[in-house]
């Protein structure tokens, strides 16, 4: 996978929900006190427009959840189809057993708003997020709520606030987890016609 940072352009926060509203598999990155992690998550969604807020399921017992609770920030990176193998790999390995960034040769840069790792290699968008403390929910469930404080996307597949899935950018289409290492790729778009 090649570095693609140069294709990333800021996404206006009023359009941040559009990065997630079609249900892509995401990679969650976190860091605190010299430790970092990356994990795959299949359940994430926008829940508010202004300010943009998301909900994401991150098991309470994971290393990622530990880092997020300590730092109060994380990033949601959206992998393209070319990153299916990486997505599966980071989703099936534990960060407690070693640094997955080193193990899998993951290229990243620190987010300007949060400092957490942002992936470009194989990813098509990212959202930098600040955890919204919700003690009852955090203790009772695996769902986390966060405010999106910055977002960017690869202009070859997301621009002017909209996705554009075409044949010529198939490697950039988002992934959708089907289980057991199987993914569907977002594919041909159709345009609805207004009823007369």
The torsion region of residue 181 among left (phi > 0), alpha (psi -120 to 50) and beta comes to left
Say which DSSP state 106 is in.
-
pLDDT digits (tens, 9 = 90+) for 56-93: 999 999 999 999 999 999 999 999 999 999 999 999 99
For 141, the 3-state DSSP assignment is coil
Task: Label residue 190 by pLDDT band (50, 70, 90).
Answer: confident
Distance CA 11, CA 31 (A): 23
- What's the N-to-C CA distance of the chain in angstroms? 47
CATH class as words, domain 5-185: mainly beta
In the block, which residue shows the tokens 């070319």?
82
pLDDT digits (tens, 9 = 90+) for 132-173: 988 887 778 899 999 999 999 999 999 999 999 999 999 999
Name the residue with higher pLDDT: 1 or 103.
Answer: 103
- Of the chain, the percentage scoring pLDDT greater than 70 comes to 98
Cis-peptide, bond into residue 120, ω within 30° of zero: no
Per DSSP, what are the bridge partners of residue 80? 174
Sign of CA dihedral 44, 47, 48, 54: negative
Sign of CA dihedral 65, 70, 72, 74: negative
Mean pLDDT over the full length of the chain: 93
The answer to whether 64 and 35 have CB atoms below 8 angstroms apart is no
Say which DSSP state 142 is in.
S
């Amino acid at each position: 996978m090649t570095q693609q940072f140069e294709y990333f352009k800021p996404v206006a926060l009023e359009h941040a929900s559009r990065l997630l509203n079609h249900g892509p598999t995401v990679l969650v990155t976190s860091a605190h006190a010299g430790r970092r992690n990356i994990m795959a998550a299949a359940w994430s969604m926008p829940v508010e427009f202004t300010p943009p807020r998301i909900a994401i399921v991150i098991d309470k017992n994971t290393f990622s959840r530990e880092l997020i609770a300590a730092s109060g920030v994380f990033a949601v990176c959206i992998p393209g189809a070319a990153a299916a193998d990486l997505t599966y790999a980071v989703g099936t390995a534990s960060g407690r057993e070693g640094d997955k960034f080193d193990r899998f040769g993951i290229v990243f840069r620190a987010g300007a708003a949060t400092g957490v790792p942002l992936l470009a290699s194989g990813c098509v968008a990212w959202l930098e997020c600040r955890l919204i403390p919700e003690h009852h929910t955090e203790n009772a469930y695996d769902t986390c709520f966060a405010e999106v404080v910055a977002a960017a996307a690869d202009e070859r597949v997301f621009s002017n606030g909209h996705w554009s899935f075409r044949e010529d950018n198939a490697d950039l289409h988002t992934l959708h987890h089907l289980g057991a290492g199987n993914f569907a790729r977002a594919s041909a778009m159709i345009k609805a016609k207004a009823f007369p």
